[in-house]
Structure 1
């Protein structure tokens, strides 16, 4: 188990923010799963948002009664995380939280917890009120993180969990033959092999990896291959500072002194310089260790070799790998072109983000200065106005026979109200400016804003981030689903028996059956199955074939993968999984065997027809025996069969079918789409399409079936190349309907 104290830059004086966050009651958390919650020394249910608000009010009321206030506020927030595949039950969570509170000196205080199970590691958020019900405030221990690590080992021993690495370790007492908890230094833990894997990264480096969706930070990259190569260079006989500098230059790294130590730096393509302590590569790379081995520091001299491996190139490669873009053998040129277009769109999107951030940083000081000067002028004007009002009011009150003290008091009240109103107005303007032009914006927050404005590149980047987050889950490969390369922007794909609903916030398409149940969900590069029925599987595979260029990967249980692979073969869809090729070959052989009787029947029929033709030719030769040899050698032309006479009585019926309201509506809707695809982007085709669709549905037609037939006809006549324009037409239809209903502009 691991424990972490959650601190905030701005100390919250209340419990509302923290409780709503762990309970996932905020507006941006409504799609996340509801956590299991519990309380300690707090007699209050937590089942509904109203119950949780009552708990917040109780905690705030207790904190307000504190006899002594502290700078850190009354909220103490800590998380307890179990290892992978460990799933605590409610009694174990209650016992663990109570033990933590006892260790920190918070026994008897009000607290509540929430269990989150939506990550690889189950973890509990524990929020404690530092103010006791009797009014005294408990101090936070100075080394609370160290006490928490020891408490984790104690909980692990008591509840039978695996031991996590930390300052406190569990060792076997040889005298008493039982495990005991002992504190060990990092050097001693390294000697005993009890250190966690990987380099020790700073909080800034960890935050950078989080922003880059898991791509390595410069510290983490430096601790890998470059550190190994530089250490070999230092250990070579006759090594000097110049040989170390040349080895570092091969990785685009410079080693320079800073303060009392050394730093390793690299420069990115955009001019940014990234730095890490040289000792990040290991103790051998500290300044004292290097000077003991190489002598006093000497700066690099002369030309240095060009880098063969640089952090920027390794970062781009890792990001491409995280985006799921391996260069497959045999990929078709069209797919390569689309992939290159998406890569270029992402590059342009990143450049636009950097440019906007730079422009924002440059524009912010000027706007802030102008706002400050305007606020100062407003305060000066108000001061002058209040001074004039005070003199006038005192004179008026004196004429009315009132004492000057009364006039002064009244005017002080008036002035205080005016000043307070101005202060609130100016504070609101400052907050509005900060919200409009923040100091810095996180990449994902910026993507969310761009996606809301309809930027397709931002939507694709968000889908990629969510997809990478999903792939990190250990449960991913055990989940039944079909995936492939997302070739086109997210669009609504129609299957006649399904209802497709787009979730614009999560960028998902949810497919439901006629019974309203979810059949599967299209997340972009992956279709997640919820219903394993044959019709749902076939529909999902057909959609995957249309989206992913006829090739899919299948994940999940062995039974599902075999069913899906065989169904894909029957539908003519290529299965990319190498371990399913034996099933693919077996299904293809089975299909050939099933076709064999049909093929034999067809061959027999062809043989009979050949015999009849030869017999007819022999009779024809007998009849033409008296004709000249030149004419007799030429085969007689086959007599043209007369077309069957059209039943005149059936013609009115056919004409009636063509004149049905449904057929008329389909023709009108198809004509409207044709006008749009041919370049007419006015409101005429849109309104004609809507009018024909609504008229047919009012007469009893099925709206979804109409759309399916129209789209099928358009694709049949114009090909799949019109998919993007057709998707834009459908989006325009939705916007027009919202305008007619008064829901949008």
Structure 2
């Protein structure tokens, strides 16, 4: 068994309300599930259960108390200790009752104003394969309280069996009910650890790890660890960021080898440098001692050598092997045939620390499974044979049947005219049978094609078929392809800069590719058309939207807006909306106005937003009333390159 003491607030004002609220709602609810109340806990009309602050909320949690729970007194001892069954949780208390325990504790705690936080909470937990009886659990609770000097203090203990480990929550009042003195809880963790060792011996529980251990004579001794604990910074990195620290990597890679070398008396400076180098690590003198660092990032964080293993500290290595010796070269320049020392592994700070060895084994197993899957596919392709529909034999069978019919007519019919007529009937039957056979063969070929049997399956189709059969390697391959597509999509998304204005269209509306003097047109494999200006994306047509990016000067910005307006004019404009920065969107709308006034080819720049379209019409009316001469179009379609001419504009630009 073992003990857990939950941490409390440092200002001695532990908020059990927040703690209980967090613990009671730790199970996440799915958004698709309806929120309902448990059966049998509906409060009466107009009434609502409110937990008593402080002890009340803690007692509610350890007793799994909810709205109006059903309690049943199981037994009462002569000392006044009650056992109460609250729902499915068995509780024990030395108060008058479980319902008034919180109020009694609060009233007792109020008698000592100097004690700012009278609540004491700890948990006794047993190993997963243990199932202690309630008598043994509550006996352990009373012994623990007695060891803490709280034998006569008020307490509530509750047994929880809703997890893998049976455990018991104990909430006790530090203030004595008669003397009103607060119990000093100094060194309570060591006291409870000693209690666990004694209870393991007396009650027959399995021996667990802890800060104290009991020898064969029944004496308690503090547990000494041969290896130092992890540095605080490394532990925080692995806990909070789930990234492997340099300390964790060094311990995982070299600690066991160093221990084995110490046992075999093989530890010296060259051997240690060689071991560290093969793992991508180095050893140097630093701040009067030795430090282990990453060879690929020497200026980064380093770890004390004694934290990795006590045997490679500077005093230990000096006593064993003499003064510090620098790392020897990894190759012999005089004899190149000796080769060089290889580096088998290196520290990768971006890797997760969780289940590293398991993930490595799974990754290797997936690679082997996929190789086997590919070999199976190659064997399938090598042994594939096209289904034989016996086309030639079936046609020959019809022809043979016609020949037999003619021979029978020739032997049985003597009249030449009738014989000729019977020959025509046989030919007609032959043609009819062949036509029916062609239709049947067409259906058979279609069925084979639908089933994927008319030709060998491609690699992807074969993997999909195997995945439907439940092949784990095929499922893994499909998920790998999906992950690669997502990663490629993220990379393509990062390739484009942040747009100033975006014009959204209805799905399925496409515009032709345009060629202008100012832009370089580039067509991507996925149908995206990118218009570059000085080698950088200026306007991009994704089909369902057009993005306009920032330009280095006003002239380039005008070219980009005019091109975006031209791409919009060649669409219907039913669901066209210009979004983005206000000034950038206004410049696109103004370019659309210029396009409508200067080009009359049946395509009109329109948008679906009423406010934006009102701005376009008002601007057109103002410019048209100014009697300004119109110019040819700025951007021409790729289908009409002969009209690709740009002339100076007389319209004012914003």
TM-score, length basis structure 2: 0.42
Q: Hey, which of these two has a bigger chunk of helix by percent?
A: 1
Which protein shows a greater Rg? 2
TM-score, length basis structure 1: 0.38
